[in-house]
Amino acid sequence: MKIETKIAHFSSPLYLESGRILEPYEIAYETYGELNEDRSNVILVCHALSGSHHAAGVYEGDRKAGWWDGLIGDGKAVDTTKYFVVCSNTIGSCFGSTGPMSNNYPSYEPYRLKFPVVTIKDMVRAQMQLLSDLGIYHVRAIIGGSMGGMQALQFAVDYPNFADEIISLAATYATRPWTIAFNKVAMEAIRKDPRFKHGNYARDAFKEEGLDGLAIGRIAGHISYLSPESMDKKFGRNYVSNDGLFELFGRYEVERYMEYNTANFARMFDPLSYLYIVKAINTFNLSRGYDSLHDAILRIKARVHLISFKTDYLFFPCEMEHIAKMLERNGQSYSYKEVESDYGHDAFLVELDKFEEDIRSVLS
């Protein structure tokens, strides 16, 4: 599989939903496979909160594959011998695209809290700019899970003629209070950490030790990505063997897992980027800018494929089913599948075997 990683530079302004302007800006992106002569084999992949443009393959000298490597590649469901796959890092992120720790041009100081609030609609508009810059004006499909699924749906509404197929997994039509409440734990934990310094920390300040507030907040997020059933299967009531049961800070295996995973995350992810992306998720509402959700959905011309997961307690299956029912009432082309899964929200990243053939079928 041919992989290319690049950064696109834009001097023209990006007009944001808030009324503010981002200028200049950069977008990091990765491509897989080869673009055919008539540019008709493009698939756009959109990432979730903690994802990046590195969706598939393994970098030289690196052991960790891209976050959807099981789905994207030669002969896989998103077959890179047939399709030219593009995945870009969203604006506001910390993996190469312009975000809060980027230089606030013309100075060399980071934006920090002067960075404008970005929305899912803004992320989509920036990707449209990137694709236009690449000479791509129509795509075979747009695929994404969680926040990536939000982007896929936003593309379908805002740019009705842009894609043939929209595949949205584990997403929603608008972020509900339950999810916003989980996100609030992370936001407050970051803001109240003294080392956060109200956003005035140095670049790479947390590369070695991480930020405790982000690690704690990520625990709340991680709980929402799993399910009681998946935790029972993975950990049971197993206790860490070298911790005493009657030691106050002795740990169950689930506690050790949370500590280890969130500590690693807090070293690699910028806390300001986390706050900005969580804000984008919280403000997501497919109907904003239109008279109603019905009017927004009615704009869609692509064939829409919705996949939810039974034990997803972040974006419940009923939320995806609600979109499906609206599409059905309108006589629009759609499919809906609720996957039997005990893995929770993260099933879209983990249990690929339960939906990869559905995606292969849509693309073929």
Are 357 and 313 part of one and the same domain?
A: yes
Indicate whether 243 and 289 sit together in one domain: no
Q: What is the DSSP string of 243-284?
A: S-TTSTT--BHHHHHHHHHHHHHHHHS-HHHHHHHHHHHHT-
| Judgement on whether residues 89 and 19 belong to the same structural domain of the protein | yes
**Which residue is listed with tokens 């009705």?**
160
CA-wise closest residue to 190 among 121, 116, 277, 280: 277
State which residues form the domain around 266: 179-280
Do 167 and 96 reside in the same domain of the chain? yes
What is the pLDDT at residue 177?
A: 97
Q: Hey, which residues are catalytic here?
A: 146, 312, 345
Chain centroid to CA 324: how far? 21
Same domain for 331 and 301: yes
Using pLDDT thresholds of 50, 70 and 90, give the confidence band for residue 65. Answer: very high
- What is the tens place of the pLDDT at every residue in 294-304? 999 999 999 99
What is the identity of the amino acid at 163? A
Q: Which residues contact 349 (CB under 8 A, 6 or more apart)?
A: 48, 67, 68, 145
* pLDDT tens per residue, range 105-120: 999 999 999 999 999 9
Q: What is the DSSP letter of 109?
A: S
CATH of the domain at 246: 1.10.1740.110
Q: pLDDT for 244-266, tens place per residue?
A: 999 999 999 999 999 998 999 99
Q: Are residue 251 and residue 129 in the same domain, yes or no?
A: no
Contacting residues for 61 by C-beta, under 8 A, at least 6 apart? none
DSSP 19-69: S-EE-SEEEEEEEES---TTS--EEEEE--TT--S--SS--TT--PPPTTT
CATH of the domain at 37: 3.40.50.1820
Indicate whether 272 and 290 sit together in one domain. Answer: no
262, 302: one domain: no
Query: Of the candidates 280, 301, 322, which is a domain's last residue?
Result: 280
What confidence tens digit (pLDDT) does each residue in 310-349 have? 999 999 999 999 999 999 999 999 999 999 999 999 999 9
Give the residue from 280, 315, 337 where a domain finishes.
280
d(CA 210, CA 204): 9
Question: Among 13, 43, 37, which residue's Cα sits nearest to residue 25?
Answer: 13
Q: 311 and 327 share a domain?
A: yes
Do both 235 and 268 map to the same domain? yes
159-206 pLDDT tens trace: 999 999 999 999 999 999 999 999 999 999 999 999 999 999 999 999
Mean pLDDT (the chain) is 96
- Report d(CA 221, CA 208) in Å as an integer: 22
Note the pLDDT tens digit of each residue in 213-246: 999 999 999 899 999 999 999 999 999 999 999 9
Total domains present in the chain: 2
Confidence grade of residue 61 (pLDDT, cut at 50, 70, 90): confident
